Amino acid sequence: MSLQAEIKDILGQFGIQENNSGASTGTEWIKTTGASIASVSPVDAQVIANVTMATEAEYHLVIDKAQTAFVEWRKIPAPKRGEIVRQLAERIRFYKEPLGKLVSYEMGKSLQEGLGEVQEMIDICDFAVGLSRQLYGLTMHSERPGHRMYEQYHPLGIVGIISAFNFPVAVWNWNTALAWVCGDVCVWKPSEKTPLTAIACQRITEEVFAANGVPEGVSGLVIGDGEIGKIMAKDTRVPLISATGSTRMGKSVGESVGQRLGRSLLELGGNNAIIITPTADLKMVVPGAVFGAVGTAGQRCTSTRRLIIHASIYDKVTEALSSAYKQLSIGNPLDQNNHVGPLIDQDAVNNYLSAIEAAKKEGGKVLVEGGVLSGPGYESGCYVKPCIIEAENHFAIVQHETFAPILYVMKYTGDIHEAIAIQNGVPQGLSSAIMTNDLKESEAFLSAAGSDCGIANVNIGTSGAEIGGAFGGEKETGGGRESGSDAWKVYMRRQTNTINYSDSLPLAQGIKFDL
């Protein structure tokens, strides 16, 4: 079967047609009337299908249904909500291969990464099922006799999810799986660059929810442009906005949500570095750095952007990296022999080229040449060569996140504290790593005076996070936390309760108020 025939078959499995509606309440697909957008694969520049975007009026229809659904959904016991999420995980398992291929074809990441992203969906659902029986509060002793105090958590309401193209399905499910077991309802605005994977996820969810009689509106979908995202951010009916994307976008969302005193969970830009010390094991450095820099064609928020290498091993490391880059195979991401697929679109290619030129103008030295590939197999014009540039951390372009496979390498000559200062010397604070066999160096890196990032790894790269840990970063990365640990608390409101079971009414702090 040809690739085109296989993709057509996959679209059919998800009920995706040549032209599709861009809004759903979880039960009904609304006849949308906005502009039509084409989902174009960066793999081969083929139009996969078209979607009619939602208008503001159609957005409000979805929100209205979500409001009504929340009143009923929050009454369902959390373990029963968890059972529905468990069934969702089973359906995702059933659709893992076709959904993973659709992610790969529509977004451009390798098939293994596409399948891995779907596996993340399964993993977070499994995590959420257990969580549905562990939404713990606290009990505490009251200073007043005959009184009991405790804390409990209640659902917030509507969770608005704004996701990016680079993880078109996993980030949505990171939010929904937790929000649903917490008793919230969700409305999703996916990236307009990857609308078809969003429709596929909505179709899978509909199957499970319909079989369980879930109220209409618990899972809403609104495909639209940035204006729909702005409307959602300002909507007082949406108490929490979870937004993933650029720092520029996140600042806009955060400002709008903050003005109405709502909550925002922001997962924004990264400018991630690996520190390589003299004791580092080169067999671990090379694969960790190369995958971190070129995986998903450098379009991960956790992609490795900078290598901070001790001067004593700088030449050895850069030579090994240059040799490894020569072995990279670039091409169709559904061919598992290829290491690097395409960038998402021509805008991304232009940003890549502009960044290389900016680095050269600031004095950067190209160690591995970049460029756009052309010819058979590269017709989309979105395939570029991963490049390595020797640079200084203070370069303006190095301080900026470019979503492309550009790796900046730089030296440090002093101790680990100098390297940590360089690593921390950027506006972003998502992921970081150190390669070392020195216990003191690793502990210094993980200390309060060490990495200022939300993620700090030792002897692994900056990419790849497990579901069990909270995911997110500091500074211009936004400060949000998703996925594991106690990230569920952001989807709920905390309530403190005091119960008086005595026959008197003593006041706190010993205050007397006699009538």
Q: Name the residues annotated as catalytic.
A: 267, 301
Print burial letters for 318-343: b (CB count within 10 Å at least 16), e (below 16).
bebbeebbeeeebbbbbeeebbbbbb
HEC string of 229-263? Answer: HHHHHHCCCCCEEEEECCHHHHHHHHHHHHHCCCE
Residue type, 7: I
Q: What is the DSSP secondary structure assignment for residue 330, as one 8-state letter? A: B
Best CA proximity match to 182, nearest among 443, 418, 411, 490? 490
Give the 3-state secondary structure of residue 321.
Answer: helix
Give the strand pairing for 47-52 and 36-40: antiparallel
CB-based contacts of 512, cutoff 8 Å, min separation 6: none
CA angle centred on 115, ends 113 and 120, rounded to 5° = 90
Give the 3-state secondary structure of residue 127.
Answer: helix
- Burial of 77 from C-beta contacts in 10 A (0-12 / 13-18 / 19+): exposed
Check if the beta carbon of residue 43 is closer than 8 Å to that of residue 332: yes
Q: The dihedral of CA 158, 225, 122, 463: what is its sign? A: negative
Q: Determine the Cα–Cα distance for residues 233 and 235; give it in Å rounded to an integer.
A: 6
Check if the beta carbon of residue 203 is closer than 8 Å to that of residue 241: no
Q: Which region holds residue 26: left if phi is over 0, alpha if psi is between -120 and 50, else beta?
A: left
Q: Determine the Cα–Cα distance for residues 484 and 221; give it in Å rounded to an integer.
A: 24
CA angle centred on 98, ends 92 and 99, rounded to 5° = 55
In a 13 Å sphere around the CA of 344, the CA atoms on its Cβ side amount to 22
Residue 159's DSSP bridge partners are: 186, 240
Check if the beta carbon of residue 265 is closer than 8 Å to that of residue 383: no
CA angle centred on 120, ends 117 and 123, rounded to 5° = 160
Q: Determine the Cα–Cα distance for residues 449 and 423; give it in Å rounded to an integer.
A: 12
